[in-house]
Amino acid sequence: MKHFCWISFLLFFLAGCHGVQMQTPSTQAVTQPAKQTLAQKKAALSQKKKSATQIPEVLGGIVKSDEWVIYKDEKKEEFKGHVFYDNNTYTFKSNYALSDRKNNTFTASGNVYAKQKEPDTTYEAYADYARYNYKTGKGLLKSTTKNPVRLILTDNTQTVTAQAKQISFDTNTQVFVLTGKVDAKRVTPEGTQTMKADKATVKQQEDYLLLEGNAVLADDLRTLQADTVLYDGVNNQARAYGARPLATGSTEQGTFAIIADNVSSDAQGNVVTLDGRVQGWLVSPELNNNKINKKF
């Protein structure tokens, strides 16, 4: 399953724009730096091939802002106003950013935007606040306004948009947790798929997805509602349970609505089992037009 592995593109900048070597200026505060040289641009383009622990001495030579302040003793750099970075592959913007080398963290706030362009895929992220620890691999994207955190993937076959109030992640374990009005949509030429829940946990390496609280999965023909929905690709199983799961929609045989205590299947949905107080109906034109109905 192709879930939210694309969230990791944001980590390039949150890791501190690693790989570009700069000398520390002697001044304590510097205004917006001069335009990058050709050599600096070439160095920036090679950054994603290098280790995330190779943090440059200062970022002010590659990050533009209205105000740039260096705190040498604390090993911090502060960027205020129109923070901007672009190397044609990665783009980053925010109102404020702080690089804390002592604690291995990079934080940004206010209209945070990041974009990564690959040959066939574009990734984008919007948030009010972002934090990343490039030593532990743990980070956070958060909404502090009415606007949700948004992640967008676009390629030649699909557009995937996911939003939530908060997204925490661990790039080492590849675990992502979305909380607060989780809403994801995948649009393809074949149709649209949607996913909603109060909380979503994605374990990318384990092909695992858990939706908790008011979970809804739907496509153009079918909708499944339950308190909890579990997909476990490694163990080849899927389950919907809690609050009497309800499945509605249509198939080649007709329209249906089924409610049960538990709904389970294999990961492909080929074999579906309904347990406990199963109720429902199926309206099939083939059954309705059958000659046997004339006897009743």
Task: Give the Å distances, CA to CA, from 6 to 59, 77, 147, 188, 294.
Answer: 25, 28, 21, 17, 57
Q: Helices in the chain by DSSP H: which ranges? A: 11-14, 38-45, 285-288
Region of 82 please: left (phi>0), alpha (psi -120 to 50) or beta.
left
Q: What is the DSSP letter of 242?
A: S
Strand partners, 113: 93, 126
- Rounded-to-integer distance, Cα 204 and Cα 66, Å: 39
- Rounded-to-integer distance, Cα 83 and Cα 62, Å: 11
- 6 three-state secondary structure: helix
Full pLDDT tens readout for the chain, 296 residues: 333 333 434 444 444 443 332 333 333 333 344 445 555 544 554 544 443 334 455 676 688 999 999 999 999 999 999 999 988 888 999 999 999 999 999 999 999 999 988 889 899 999 999 999 989 989 999 999 999 999 998 999 999 899 999 999 898 898 999 999 999 999 999 889 899 999 999 888 888 999 999 999 888 888 889 999 998 888 888 889 988 888 888 877 788 888 988 888 776 667 778 888 888 887 766 655 655 555 54
Show the domains of the chain with their CATH numbers. 5-218 (2.60.450.10), 221-296 (2.60.450.10)
